[in-house]
Chains A and B, each alone.
Chain A
Amino acid sequence: MKTRWGRLMAAGLALGLGTAGAALPGRAAETTLRVAMTAGDIPDVTGQPDQGFEGYRFVGYSIYDALLKWDLTKSDVEASLKPGLATKWYVDPADTKRWIFELRPDVKFHDGCPFNADTVVWNVQRLTDNTVPQFVAKQFAAMRTRTVNIDRAEKIDDLKVAIVMKEPDSLFYIQMSFWMMVSKCQFEKAGGDNAKYALMPSGTGPYKFDKFVPRERLELVKNADYWDKPRIPKHDRLVLIPMPEATTRAAALLAGQVDFIEAPSPDTVPRLKQAGMNVLTNAYPHNWAYQPNFVDGPFKDKRVRQAANYALNRADMKEMLGGFMIEGFATVPPNSAWYGNPKKYEYDTKKATALLKEAGCYPCEVTFAISTSGSGQMQPLPMNELVKAQLEEAGFKVKLEVMDWNALLDVTFKGREKFPQYHAVNVSRATQDPFSGIFRFAMKSQNAPAGGNWGWYYNAEIEDLIKKIYTTFDETERNKMIIKVHEIMNEDAAMIWVAHDVNPRALSPKLKGFVQAQSWFQDLTPIVVNDKTN
């Protein structure tokens, strides 16, 4: 005991007297890309990642592949889907409930097992059938909105699979881009135990699992045998470090401890630029808006919703955020294929006031449920304060009910019926696909708590259009109808639109080759790490 205390005392004194040291030693023989994520922990490595789309971005799409993948090679257009582990996909002409996927030949998992139709069927069962041994409840729950329409998966031959729907679903193929294909062999080697599999995960992706220290770091190494040759990583090792505090991430980059950071806060950007870091931004499918309550309170009147949209000076908001946003006038950003020509609610306080007076709600008292932080929430407190000031200038009287992210999710999840005191909720959304980005806020079947339509918005024309969309397999025709839905929602002022994030990232000058795609996902494989530049 005495000796231990003595040692600890010595350590304490050594710390007190501790002086300079050099930066972390690099691995001489290999190049390493070190990424500071905003996540508080390392995302799940066993297939479907958690931690939102950050989990997909850094872990899911690094270790695994899906049947379809996002084309992340361009920065000037919104990312679209392209062949992944499936080379072709189409609806069975004889039965529109059957989606056929033709699989890529000669693909092997990191453990050496072949990828084939059996693996796909096994993976589909893993997240849809709670009677099979490979079933994982947590991932089943997380994927349920994407899998709810699946009846079963059928092997046609070794390289062809049919996924049979309960109802025709023209948009189903998009869901397969979120479905990580796990190695059946490796899972069985782990004795069918998901916790054991987490220590030896195996996919077909560009990186192989190497090691992980809980809460601290996940280390992946280059898969030199990756089937997608142009995407074989240009660095040897990828280290993913959870670092939830924005200032800490910036400090770690400045101190040379990491090379790539997510979401630096706007106030650290000038310092990062001054130090030679590359700060990159780009449009992506994101929507920072309020979902109004269409049943209780003033927003059930379309004029009041429109007034709120006219009252917002989005240019001021952009200035406050140091330019890190795109002004939001609609659900999807202007670069989206589904944008169309929506009504643009340009800043006009007089018009807003007139609409409020016409609606007989002046001053118009409203209460918003907002959060202090959260996935995609940008800078929620100052942004909400500015929105409040701008709305009050036009004749609103706004009360902000501030809660933590989880509490706001609870309000959003349960819907307006449970929380009629709120006239709108401020939850950011991804608009990656038409259902997640648009439909779920408009469909009656999605009225919360059954789905994402928090305020119970309803428009009969939209209901009809969405039904047609799901049975229209011609993409051009379908897109026309999706655009129509988007435009009707705007005319109805189905949301109070404020901003689309541009998702800033900061990169050390020693990194070359990164292309920031217009997507929630990014491809790290082309990044070249030049350690001599440091």
Chain B
Amino acid sequence: MWLYVARRILYAVPIALGVTVFCFALVYLAPGNPLQLLLPPDASAEVVELIKKTYGFDKPIPVQYATWLGRALTGDLGVSIATNRPVIGEVLGALSNTIILSLSAVMLAFSLAFTLGVVAAYFNGRWVDRTVTGFSIVGVSVPNYWLGMVLIIVFAVNMNWLPATGMGTKGSESFSLFDWEQLKHAILPVVTMSMIPLGIIMRTTRSAVAEVLNHDFVQTLRAKGLGEGAVVRHAVRNALPSVLAVMGLQFGYLMGGSILVETIFTWPGTGFLLNKAILTRDIPVLQGTILVLALIFVATNLVVDLVQTAVDPRIKRA
């Protein structure tokens, strides 16, 4: 097992490194110039040079990359061009906010989707199944930025039940989901973000459990007189690895793909940070955020693989 874990971790290293090279190159290939944020439209060549030097943009790109990566390995991601604050602080501050949203959304999605998916699989082909499947299609298809807007209009503007934006007056520095005043700020974005994973996890659970329920061994279990509850437990255990894999991937997608939802709800997470960094070409922040998100995605996949293996040792052998 430990050898398997070590091998998986080693596989993850070149992937993470490849991602950093790709992201670094991508940022430089995009049109525009990060220095424009700092410079007036009429800046002279002398000022441009000074600023280039200040932020290290005067060096060749491979040198900039090597320097950046070397510092990144020690936890120094440079300084934001826009705010002058250390990028690592910016990213980690935002990251904790995004984790709150993404993890809550995946937990919410998983708790509902898994239950409904198992029920749909058990009643395969009947109206319960058709209803749940229909709901999952809606969940997968609805654009989350649209859903977010609708939820704001209904629950914040018309009913005035929940806040439309932000993390509350205390801000993210003391944010807790167990504080009702702050929890209220998270409800709408979490529900919005949970919709797509809800649909996907529900469909995966339904098809995985239904497939297991069709296997011959299930008939054998029933023939031996096992109760329906125990039969379903067996089916669920067999279907769990694929559902966990999907859940892990969804968490990864939510971590990196929350730009629109966080912008709509003014939720100061990595999505909001990325949006700002893209608009202002704040390259250090852009690179730092992408790097951290990519590493989280790689780490999530690693954890999912290991959890899957723990649940179903056949995977390791495969």
Residues of A within 8 A of B (CB): 8-9, 11-16, 18-21, 23-25, 40-41, 44, 46, 50, 130, 137-138, 140-145, 148, 194-195, 198, 213-217, 241-245, 247-248, 251-252, 254-257, 403-407, 409-410, 412-413, 440, 446, 449-452
CB distance from B97 to the nearest CB of A (A): 9
Tell me whether B82 is interfacial, beta carbon within 8 Å: yes
CA distance A88 to B90 in the complex (A): 44
CA distance A215 to B173 in the complex (A): 11
The A-contacting residues of B in range 262-304, CB under 8 angstroms, are: 263-266, 268, 272-273, 275-276, 279-281
Q: Are A410 and B31 in contact (CB under 8 A)?
A: yes
CA distance A144 to B46 in the complex (A): 10
Tell me whether B76 is interfacial, beta carbon within 8 Å: no
CB distance from B152 to the nearest CB of A (A): 5
Since A40-B276, A44-B84, A406-B32 are in contact, a sample of 20 more A-B pairs with Cβ atoms closer than 8 Å, ordered by chain A residue number, is A20-B162, A24-B169, A142-B38, A144-B40, A144-B44, A145-B40, A194-B84, A213-B171, A213-B173, A214-B90, A215-B93, A216-B166, A241-B165, A245-B264, A252-B166, A257-B165, A404-B31, A404-B32, A404-B279, A413-B33
Q: Are A15 and B108 in contact (CB under 8 A)?
A: yes
Q: Are B31 and A406 in contact (CB under 8 A)?
A: yes
Q: Are A410 and B40 in contact (CB under 8 A)?
A: no
Contact of A255 among B89, B160, B173 (CB under 8 A): B160
User: Which residues of the other chain, B, contact A216 by a CB distance below 8 angstroms?
Assistant: 166-167, 171-172, 268
Q: Which partner residue on chain A sits nearest B112 by CB separation?
A: A16
Tell me whether B41 is interfacial, beta carbon within 8 Å: yes
- Interface residues on chain B, size class: 35 or more
CA distance A449 to B54 in the complex (A): 21
Contact of B279 among A13, A256, A257, A405 (CB under 8 A): A405
CA distance A407 to B163 in the complex (A): 35
Which one of B1-9, B13-21, B176-184, B220-228 contacts A?
A: B176-184
Q: Which partner residue on chain A sits nearest B110 by CB separation?
A: A12
Contact of A41 among B83, B89, B153, B190 (CB under 8 A): B83
| Known contacts A144-B47, A195-B84, A248-B164; is-contact A413 B41 (Cβ 8 Å) | yes
Q: Are B104 and A11 in contact (CB under 8 A)?
A: yes
CB distance from A529 to the nearest CB of B (A): 15
CB distance from A17 to the nearest CB of B (A): 10
CB distance from B315 to the nearest CB of A (A): 21
User: Which residues of the other chain, A, contact B276 by a CB distance below 8 angstroms?
Assistant: 40-41, 215, 244
Tell me whether B50 is interfacial, beta carbon within 8 Å: yes
The contact sample of 9 A-B pairs, CB cut-off 8 A, is: A8-B103, A24-B169, A141-B51, A144-B39, A241-B266, A243-B266, A252-B166, A407-B32, A451-B42
Contact of B153 among A143, A217, A251 (CB under 8 A): A251
Q: Are A195 and B36 in contact (CB under 8 A)?
A: no
Q: Are B163 and A409 in contact (CB under 8 A)?
A: no
Tell me whether B217 is interfacial, beta carbon within 8 Å: no
Q: Which partner residue on chain A sits nearest B277 by CB separation?
A: A40
User: Which residues of the other chain, B, contact A405 by a CB distance below 8 angstroms?
Assistant: 279
CA distance A176 to B309 in the complex (A): 68
Q: Which partner residue on chain B sits nearest A414 by CB separation?
A: B33
CA distance A50 to B281 in the complex (A): 14
Q: Are A241 and B166 in contact (CB under 8 A)?
A: yes
Tell me whether B138 is interfacial, beta carbon within 8 Å: no
Contact of A403 among B31, B54, B171 (CB under 8 A): B31
Q: Which partner residue on chain B sits nearest A250 by CB separation?
A: B157
CA distance A503 to B178 in the complex (A): 41
CA distance A23 to B264 in the complex (A): 19
Q: Are B43 and A213 in contact (CB under 8 A)?
A: no
Q: Which partner residue on chain B sits nearest A411 by CB separation?
A: B31
CA distance A40 to B82 in the complex (A): 10
Q: Which partner residue on chain A sits nearest B191 by CB separation?
A: A15
| Known contacts A18-B187, A215-B272, A243-B266; is-contact A138 B161 (Cβ 8 Å) | no
Tell me whether B257 is interfacial, beta carbon within 8 Å: no
Tell me whether B111 is interfacial, beta carbon within 8 Å: yes
User: Which residues of the other chain, A, contact B171 by a CB distance below 8 angstroms?
Assistant: 213, 216-217
The A-contacting residues of B in range 121-165, CB under 8 angstroms, are: 149, 152-153, 156-157, 159-165
